[in-house]
Amino acid sequence: MIDLPEKPTLAEIQSYVLQMKKARGFNTTDCFYECCLLAEECGELISAVRKNAKGGSIGTGSVAGNVADELADVLIYVCSLANMHGIDLETALRNKEEKNKLRVWKRNA
């Protein structure tokens, strides 16, 4: 049994995802397939957000999950794709934020 540490770091979450996927026999090599699954989970997240939005609705017979569950699924697939590409997400986030600090951000008024 693989346990996720209490209050894990991003690196620990990423490592847990890899171990969990291997233990359960899930995909750990097909990046295109993993991207398709990520897109599917993003769609489920959008449905859950819309369902819970003020005035939001979904079609009769449709079932939308809760936002927390769908966000967790998206995180799992993002970590999995990072693992498949040999990317340390914490380093990638830090590097991207350094680039973002140099950008000029425009907002529509």
How do the domains of the chain map onto residue ranges?
10-101
Is the pLDDT reported for residue 5 higher than 70?
Answer: yes
Integer Cα distance of 80 and 8 in angstroms: 16
Residue with the two structure tokens 């599917």: 40
pLDDT at 60: 59
Neighbour-count burial of 59, counting CB atoms closer than 10 A to its CB (0-12 exposed, 13-18 middle, 19+ buried): exposed
User: Thinking of the domain 10-101, which architecture would CATH place it in?
Assistant: Orthogonal Bundle (1.10)
Cα angle: 44, vertex 97, 99; to 5 degrees: 120
Neighbour-count burial of 104, counting CB atoms closer than 10 A to its CB (0-12 exposed, 13-18 middle, 19+ buried): exposed
pLDDT tens digits, one per residue of 57-104: 666 555 557 899 999 999 999 999 999 999 999 999 999 999 999 999
